[in-house]
Amino acid sequence: MKNIFKYIAVGAVLLGMASCDDDEQNVTDLVQDTVERGAVLRGVSLISNSLPIGVADAQFSVLLEEQDQQGGALLESMDGYITFTDGSDAVGDSSAGIVGTEVAVKNVPASECTTGPFGLPRYTLTITLTEMLSLVNLSDDNIFGGDRFTTRLALNLTDGR
């Protein structure tokens, strides 16, 4: 019986893969051709998302690329936020910390971005574990496996959006 469920699951995955559209359009072209309002912030590559406790150089780092209807010209700035979630209530005292509430990390003006290979603004966002802990009023002793930092990014455009 257990094997039947495995075969059904594998069959469903294969069926889903076979039904995908082979006519994929370049995402950059798709956004430029179809998006009339707003912008897209794409994660080009995840550099590091491992935050081992007690490792001084642990960090979250991602290469981002902004795209809008004007080829990146609408970008004014990006805002970064984190939220700490205590996933190990029984271990580590996080009662003095900012738990479950979003905290601003940094504002990155468009002038700090570089131009990527497609002519769009790129930025490598890096937030160290030490910075994260400081922002939520915690230390290495207050956290334990299962605790989680969530990042959120917001774009600010020159036209007020």
- Between strands 75-85 and 59-68, the pairing is unpaired
Residue 125 CB contacts under 8 Å (≥ 6 apart), including other chains: 60, 61, 62, 64, 78, 80, 108, 153
pTM of the model: 0.74
| pLDDT tens digits, 81-132 | 999 998 877 777 787 788 889 999 999 999 999 999 999 999 999 999 999 9
Residue 42 CB contacts under 8 Å (≥ 6 apart), including other chains: 27, 64, 65, 66, 67
| pLDDT tens digits, 12-33 | 555 555 545 545 556 666 666 7
